[in-house]
């Protein structure tokens, strides 16, 4: 074995990477070669030097690691390690909420606008004047008076004799009071806001009349109950006597 | 004494920090996967010095070396669930560290630098100039100075040889483990370690003539052996 080959094998020999036959050959060469022995000694001292001079890490390493680890974990779970970033995020969060609320509001306004109909201008084909509401909405009146449910309760009707799209709401509520007078709450929205306002006014007036009548009847009931109580007690007294 | 996962008592309370010393690295990382923070503390205690030593000899900057050591350990913790015991834990850790160091060195090399009109020789072909490592061979050397000289000599080994060399000499990984960490072929690992040793020997050759250096080396080794005995 030559020296240049032996020095190549020496490195692997230090790490026990040589096959047995090469190890034997190298050992034989080293026994008779002083320069290769010196080379081997140098490699061994170099290894000792590297091991002996391992740098020392700072004492607060673990504390700093803990800080960085906390930050990394916060970021890993989606939280911000910096408060100004959270403020930023909150601001956008509010904007997102506001946007959603605005969208819902707009949708509600649009739905209401569709329900109420156009403000002013020419009357829509389905417009019904308040005076002849019942005449022009036969199906609405029929369903309201009979208290029918089902298809008649749908807000949109296509069976208007005038061919227009008619929107209707039927409460179908009938009230019968002690005086034998029959109150019928039939409401119809014809597509024009003027007529609707008049209908509302009319219903309000009816409601006030009914309330007034109810208060009178309640007073009457109280008066009769008091009279009954006094007459009953006198009757009981008479029986005991 | 090593414990395999099968030998761990089921349903018992988690071991205290002091008890983790008897577990293998691979068992500890499994405990970290199960959420035991103290097992990670033990891994940090075992690896922080080794990682710092390896990284410092690669980047030469103590502040940067500490930062990269922390980054390595943070990645170990965050990606603990990805570890599978098909490789040794040390191999996995040093793969992370090596990749971080390589990325950092690549970033450094991309920074704009002063350009010389005379083209620089290739890193492999750069002449070894060991004379300036030791100004006066007769002067006594202390541990810190010796460490600085060794770090300086190490940093003069080209990077592609230095990584397998340090993984072998500092971390004492096997050739197969170095192959896994670096992604090189086994023959390439052998030849790179051999080349790095030859170069390192040339660099420290003048220092080896200094008798006080060898005396200091023996003192350091004796102190280290004493500390090891005290710990046991």
Domain membership flag for residue A127 = no
Chain A: closest CA distance from residue B28 (Å): 18
Within 13 Å and on the Cβ side, how many CA atoms surround B229?
Answer: 6
* Predicted local distance difference test score (pLDDT) of residue B35: 84
- Cα separation, A103 vs B149, in Å, equals 71
- Cα separation, A165 vs B153, in Å, equals 94
Q: Both A115 and A137 in a single domain?
A: no
Full-model pTM: 0.56
Q: Residue A39 and residue B201: Cβ atoms within 8 Å?
A: yes
Between B140 and B76, whose confidence is greater? B76
Indicate the residue of A46, A53, A76 with minimum beta-carbon distance to B147: A53
Count of residues making up chain A: 241
Q: Both A219 and A158 in a single domain?
A: yes
* Predicted local distance difference test score (pLDDT) of residue B222: 84
- Cα separation, A52 vs A35, in Å, equals 26
Structure tokens at B38: 């103290």
Q: Both A175 and A233 in a single domain?
A: yes
Q: Both A213 and A166 in a single domain?
A: yes
How many distinct structural domains can be found in chain A? Answer: 3
Domain membership flag for residue A61 = no
3-state secondary structure of A176: strand
Of B17-21, B77-81, B154-158, B163-167, the least confident? B17-21
Query: B128-231, which class in CATH?
Result: mainly alpha
Ordered by start, the domain boundaries in chain B are 5-108, 128-231
Q: Both A147 and A226 in a single domain?
A: yes
Most confident of A68-72, A193-197, B130-134: A68-72
Task: State the best of B186, B197, B211, B215 to mutate against chain A, taking most chain A CBs within 10 Å.
Answer: B197
Domain membership flag for residue A150 = yes
**Which chain A residues are Cβ-neighbours of B32 within 8 angstroms?**
none
* Predicted local distance difference test score (pLDDT) of residue A16: 83
Q: Residue A55 and residue B62: Cβ atoms within 8 Å?
A: yes
Chain A: closest CA distance from residue B209 (Å): 11
Between A234 and B188, whose confidence is greater? B188
pLDDT tens, position by position, A97-111: 667 777 888 888 888
Domain membership flag for residue A23 = yes
For residue A39, what are the contacts with CB-CB under 8 A and spacing of at least 6? A7, A10, B201
**B124 has a pLDDT exceeding 70:** no
* Predicted local distance difference test score (pLDDT) of residue B108: 78
Q: Using pLDDT thresholds of 50, 70 and 90, give the confidence band for residue B143.
A: confident
CATH number listed for the domain at residues B5-108? 1.10.1740.10
Domain membership flag for residue A76 = no
Closest CA to B163 of B185, B181, B147, B186: B181
Q: Both A48 and A102 in a single domain?
A: no
Q: Both A206 and A111 in a single domain?
A: no
Cα separation of the two ends of chain B:
14
- How does strand A166-167 pair with strand A173-176? unpaired
**A124 has a pLDDT exceeding 80:** no
**Which chain B residues are Cβ-neighbours of A54 within 8 angstroms?**
49, 53, 170
Q: Is B107 left (phi over 0), alpha (psi -120 to 50) or beta?
A: alpha
**Which chain A residues are Cβ-neighbours of B145 within 8 angstroms?**
none
- Structural domain of residue A20, as residue ranges? 3-52
Cβ(B23)–Cβ(B2) under 8 Å?
yes
Please, is B166 exposed, middle or buried when counting C-beta atoms within 10 Å of its C-beta (0-12, 13-18, 19+)?
buried
DSSP one-letter string for B118-180: SPPPPGGGSPP-GGGG-S-TTS---HHHHHHHHHHHHHTS-HHHHHHHHHHHTT---HHHHHH
**Which chain B residues are Cβ-neighbours of A72 within 8 angstroms?**
74, 77-78
Q: Using pLDDT thresholds of 50, 70 and 90, give the confidence band for residue B189.
A: very high
Of A160-164, B180-184, B204-208, the least confident? A160-164
Q: Both A106 and A147 in a single domain?
A: no
* Predicted local distance difference test score (pLDDT) of residue A181: 47
ipTM of the complex: 0.74
Domain membership flag for residue A160 = yes
pLDDT tens, position by position, A28-71: 888 888 888 888 888 888 888 888 888 888 888 888 888 888 88
Q: Using pLDDT thresholds of 50, 70 and 90, give the confidence band for residue B171.
A: confident
Domain membership flag for residue A69 = no
Which residue from A minimizes the CA distance to B37?
Answer: A66
CB atoms within 10 A of CB B80: 19
**B98 has a pLDDT exceeding 90:** yes
**B6 has a pLDDT exceeding 70:** no
Indicate the residue of B48, B169, B221 with minimum beta-carbon distance to A61: B48
* Predicted local distance difference test score (pLDDT) of residue B25: 87
Q: Residue A48 and residue B217: Cβ atoms within 8 Å?
A: yes
């Amino acid at each position: 074995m030559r020296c240049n080959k032996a020095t190549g094998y020496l490195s692997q020999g230090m790490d026990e990477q040589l096959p047995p036959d090469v190890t034997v050959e190298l050992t034989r060469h080293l026994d008779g070669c002083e320069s290769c022995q010196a080379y081997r000694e140098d490699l061994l001292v170099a290894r000792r030097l590297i091991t002996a001079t391992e740098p020392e890490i700072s004492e607060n390493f673990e504390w700093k690691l803990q800080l960085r680890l906390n930050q990394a974990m916060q970021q890993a779970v989606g939280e911000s390690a910096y408060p100004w970033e959270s403020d930023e995020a909150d601001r956008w969060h509010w904007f997102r909420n506001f946007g959603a609320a605005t969208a819902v509001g707009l949708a509600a306004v649009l739905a209401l606008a569709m329900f109420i109909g156009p403000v002013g201008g020419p009357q829509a084909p389905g417009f019904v004047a308040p005076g002849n509401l019942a005449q022009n909405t036969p199906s609405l009146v029929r369903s309201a008076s009979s208290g029918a449910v089902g298809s008649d309760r749908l807000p949109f009707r296509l069976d208007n004799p005038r061919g227009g799209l008619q929107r209707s709401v039927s409460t179908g509520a009938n009230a019968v009071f002690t005086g034998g007078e029959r109150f019928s709450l039939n409401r119809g929205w014809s597509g024009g806001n003027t007529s609707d306002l008049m209908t509302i006014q009319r219903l309000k007036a009816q409601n006030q009349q009914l309330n007034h009548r109810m208060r009178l009847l309640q007073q009457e009931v109280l008066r009769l109950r008091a009279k009954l109580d006094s007459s009953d007690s006198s009757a009981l007294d008479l029986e005991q006597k | 004494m090593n414990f395999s996962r099968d030998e761990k008592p089921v349903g018992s309370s988690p071991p205290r920090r002091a008890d983790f010393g008897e577990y293998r690295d691979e068992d500890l990382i499994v405990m970290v996967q199960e959420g035991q923070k103290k097992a990670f503390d033990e891994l940090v205690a075992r690896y922080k010095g080794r990682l710092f030593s390896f990284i410092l000899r690669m980047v030469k900057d103590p502040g940067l070396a500490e930062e990269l050591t922390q980054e390595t350990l943070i990645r170990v913790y965050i990606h603990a669930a990805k570890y599978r015991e098909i490789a040794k834990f040390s191999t996995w850790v040093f793969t992370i560290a090596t990749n971080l160091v390589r990325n950092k060195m690549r970033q450094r090399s991309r920074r704009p630098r002063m350009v010389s009109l005379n083209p620089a020789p290739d890193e492999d072909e750069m002449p070894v100039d060991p004379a300036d490592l030791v100004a006066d061979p007769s002067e006594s050397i202390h541990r810190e100075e010796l460490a600085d000289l060794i770090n300086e000599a190490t940093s003069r080994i080209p990077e592609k040889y230095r990584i397998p060399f340090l993984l072998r000499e500092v971390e004492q990984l096997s050739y197969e483990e170095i192959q896994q960490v670096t992604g090189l072929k086994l023959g390439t690992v052998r030849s790179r370690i051999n080349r790095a040793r030859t170069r390192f020997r040339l660099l420290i050759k003048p220092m080896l003539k200094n008798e006080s250096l060898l005396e200091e080396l023996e003192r350091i080794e004796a102190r280290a052996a004493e500390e090891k005995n005290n710990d046991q």
